[in-house]
Amino acid sequence: MGCYNDIEKVSEKVDFIYGSHSLEHVRDLDKLEIIFNKILNNNGYIFFEVPNALVDSNGGSNGKIFPPHTYYFTKNYFNTLNFDVILNTTYKEGSFPFIRLEDDKGEVIRYLGRKK
């Protein structure tokens, strides 16, 4: 596989897409979803970690915008993706071992999906 500095130029298929605190900075989320679906192999995995918009200090749901964030996410967004959901939950940020929170109050959302 080559090295790319522009995801739109990727022509090869991949088995895994990983993004940690990057998805909330993209310009065109709809376009990026199309690219991900195009380059990810069937049964390939996609992982994201993003700030949880349900937490006031992360912005978004409370009406506050925190540049350079362009998108604000809740777990509901990830349920709309055309992937089998393996993991979609919130975690306490900066904790080790990682503390999973079942009540959606964790500062970050971690999502793992598999392409159908």
Domain limits, the chain: 15-115
Contact 83, 36 (CB under 8 A): no
Give the pLDDT band of residue 1 (cuts 50, 70, 90). Answer: low
CB atoms within 10 A of CB 30: 7
In tens, the pLDDT along 13-66 reads: 999 999 999 999 999 999 999 999 999 999 999 999 999 999 988 888 878 788
Residue 61 has what pLDDT? 80
Contact 20, 49 (CB under 8 A): yes
Topology adopted by domain 15-115: Rossmann fold (3.40.50)
In tens, the pLDDT along 59-101 reads: 888 787 888 999 999 999 999 999 999 999 999 987 777 889 8
Give the pLDDT band of residue 103 (cuts 50, 70, 90). Answer: confident
**Range with lowest mean pLDDT among 7-11, 16-20, 109-113:** 7-11
CB atoms within 10 A of CB 78: 22
